[in-house]
Amino acid sequence: MSLIGQLLLNNQKITQEQLKQAIQEQEKTNKRLGEILKEHNLITDEDIADVLSKQFNLKRIVLSNVLIDRSVVSIIKEEVARERLILPFSKTDNELHIAVVDPTENTYLIDEIRFTTGIKKVILYITTSQDTINAINTSYTIYNKLEEFVKNLPQTQTIEEVEEESQSIIQESDPPLIKLVNSIIENAIISRASDIHVEPFENHVKVRYRIDGKNIEAMKLPKQFALSIVSRIKIMSHLDIAEKRLPQDGRIKLKMLNKEIDLRVSTVPVAFGEKCVMRILDSSSIKINLHDLGFESEDLEKYIKAVKSPHGIILVTGPTGSGKSTTLYATLNLLNNTSVNILTAEDPIEYNLEGINQLQINEEIGLTFAKALRSFLRQDPDIIMVGEIRDAETADIAIRSALTGHLVLSTLHTNDAPSAIARLIDMGVASYLLTSSLRLILAQRLVRKICDSCKIVYEPEPELIKSLGLDKKDTVFYRGKGCPACNNTGYKGRIAIYETMPINEQIRRAIVELSPTDEIRDLAISEGMQTLRQSGIKKVLDGTTTIEEVLEVSI
């Protein structure tokens, strides 16, 4: 009797009689026992994967949710992968990660892979046959066609020849290049990337994904692909493929993985061609509930109280990429209902929100934040969101709008909440206007979350513990050791840490007196403000993130 049959029987997935009949059919057809049982609708792929995972203490994996390294796939031939239902998908310096449907059938093959690669540590993961077949179809189809495509490219070409070839490639009905570009975008979405970087260098083209704020190399391609890939992306984003001397900006809208995806495209000329960056705007991935963002309960209560004021200005501060837009979108989602008129001025509009009037800033035609704000005041608004206060004019109109019965939400680039006051005063806003209009200032940063799939207890260096003012006694620290689920980084996903500063009477008095930022900060702390560092420490103590992450984003 086969092991899989016995395991299914032991786990009460099938009966003794069903197993007996399946074995008799197997003797006649030479099919896999599992396939026979599935054909008769007695079990599913998931049943097989569950019992094998349990029996061999191997983790389950879904290949469609993993960034597959194309260079690792080529370790075994496609026909072997299909026959044995096995797929190498990730590699570090000393570990090779392989997905298998049935580990009992691949013992010799895995030993051979160890020998040929020189990698002694092979980590197996259980997956389903259909998941493996889908991954094989995608990975090998693109890999093999690209290999053939590269062989047919001349090793030396003039610029004119390369340009002519690029034109012909992107005009074919379905060439490997189009599949390559689609695959680059699709893998980025699967990997939860926020940006895709296509970078030409002297000897190769590098593709990197920004995942959880860090760039990770996804693939390297022959240098001959540089012009063709960028030309394809330019066609998709309606840019001028003949213009290679100037930066260009465009946008791609496409449906992929059953989702509507927007890509903001930017190209710039660099030493060995054009670098292209695509910002992924996936509306399905945005969190629009304030409770999901990372607020401590006390801070969230203060913030919601402030944003439900009938008028005044709420400022969200932090550097680019700190999650300010997400916080504002979640705030608008909280405030949005049929009784209020909400208008936003954004550059760009990252996500479309139902029931909210969103305006795209276009400075080339004179549509600035200040001009949009002036127009909004004639639109009978209740709530106004300004993507960013960039100059004195915008600041002045935003403040005066808040003073005339409107709730205004906006962002500033400052290091912490108290610094926003000095920034506005430097812009020329009178201190008495600030005291009358400001309701709350929120500073934020994003920290990476420890991957749940590889989370372990560890003991940090004493210096690290000391740097956060923590006591080693009775404190448990966690980190991720790295696994395929997190691309071997130890982190998966991000969460915000916040510094919430309501503007109370004491702080208003300090603003009028033009007190230094340090004094305002000390006053806010004495009034109960939790700093970014303190918010981060709480995330360390509850096992959400690591000491290193908090030290990186807070002072």
Q: In the predicted model, is pLDDT for residue 326 greater than 50?
A: yes
Mean pLDDT of 405-431: 96
Architecture in CATH for domain 290-446+496-537: 3-Layer(aba) Sandwich (3.40)
**Each residue's pLDDT tens digit, 244-264:** 999 999 999 988 888 888 999
Q: In the predicted model, is pLDDT for residue 432 greater than 90?
A: yes
105, 294, 444, 448, 541 from 495: Cα distances, Å: 42, 6, 10, 6, 15
Retrieve residue 164's tokens.
Answer: 């002519």
Q: In the predicted model, is pLDDT for residue 154 greater than 70?
A: no
| Cβ neighbours around 169 below 10 Å, total | 20
Q: In the predicted model, is pLDDT for residue 479 greater than 90?
A: yes
Can you tell me the distance from the alpha carbon of 313 to that of 326, in angstroms, rounded to the nearest whole number? 18
- Tell which wins on pLDDT, 58 or 350: 58
**pLDDT category, 165, cuts 50, 70, 90?**
very low
Mean pLDDT of 95-117: 87
Among 369, 379, 365, which residue's Cα sits nearest to residue 348? Answer: 369
Q: What are phi and psi for residue 99, nearest 5 degrees? A: -95, 130
250 forms beta bridges with 265
Q: In the predicted model, is pLDDT for residue 171 greater than 50?
A: no
40, 86, 127, 481 from 101: Cα distances, Å: 19, 7, 5, 25
> In the block, which residue shows the tokens 């991957």?
451
pLDDT at 151: 60
Retrieve residue 237's tokens.
Answer: 């984003």
Among 226, 227, 224, 221, which residue's Cα sits nearest to residue 241? Answer: 227
Nearest-5° angle of CA 464, CA 467, CA 469? 115
Q: In sequence order, which residues have a C-beta less than 8 Å from that of residue 81 and are 6 or more positions away? A: 73, 87, 136, 140
pLDDT at 356: 96
**pLDDT category, 157, cuts 50, 70, 90?**
very low
SS3 category, 383: strand
Mean pLDDT of 446-471: 89
pLDDT at 144: 63
CATH fit for domain 173-281, picks 3.60.15.10, 3.30.365.10, 3.30.450.90, 3.40.630.30? 3.30.450.90
**Each residue's pLDDT tens digit, 181-237:** 988 898 888 888 999 999 999 999 999 999 999 998 888 888 888 888 999 999 999
Q: In the predicted model, is pLDDT for residue 424 greater than 90?
A: yes
Q: In the predicted model, is pLDDT for residue 33 greater than 80?
A: yes
Q: In the predicted model, is pLDDT for residue 31 greater than 90?
A: no
Among 233, 180, 218, 354, which residue's Cα sits nearest to residue 283? Answer: 354
**pLDDT category, 302, cuts 50, 70, 90?**
very high
Q: In the predicted model, is pLDDT for residue 97 greater than 80?
A: yes
Q: Of the segments 9-13, 163-167, 502-506, which one has the largest average pLDDT value?
A: 502-506
- Tell which wins on pLDDT, 146 or 155: 146
118, 135, 184, 484, 487 from 68: Cα distances, Å: 20, 9, 11, 9, 9
CATH fit for domain 3-131, picks 3.40.50.720, 3.30.70.3040, 3.30.300.160, 3.40.50.150? 3.30.300.160
Q: What percent of the chain clears pLDDT 70, i.e. is strictly above it?
A: 93
**Each residue's pLDDT tens digit, 339-361:** 999 999 998 888 888 999 999 99
Lowest-pLDDT choice from 396-405, 459-468, 539-548: 459-468
- Indicate the length of the chain as a whole number: 555
Can you tell me the distance from the alpha carbon of 471 to that of 454, in angstroms, rounded to the nearest whole number? 25
- Tell which wins on pLDDT, 128 or 487: 128
Retrieve residue 316's tokens.
Answer: 């969200």
Can you tell me the distance from the alpha carbon of 337 to that of 461, in angstroms, rounded to the nearest whole number? 51
Lowest-pLDDT choice from 29-33, 161-165, 182-186, 400-404: 161-165
Retrieve residue 392's tokens.
Answer: 């004195």
Start and end residues for every CATH 3.40.50.300 domain found in the chain: 290-446+496-537
The chain-wide mean pLDDT, for the chain, equals 88
Contact between 379 and 341 (Cβ < 8 Å): yes
Strands 438-450 and 312-317: parallel
Among 112, 2, 106, which residue's Cα sits nearest to residue 51? Answer: 2
**Each residue's pLDDT tens digit, 264-293:** 999 999 999 999 999 998 877 776 799 999
Start and end residues for every CATH 3.30.450.90 domain found in the chain: 173-281
Mean pLDDT of 143-168: 52
Start and end residues for every CATH 3.30.300.160 domain found in the chain: 3-131
Residue 77 DSSP class:
-
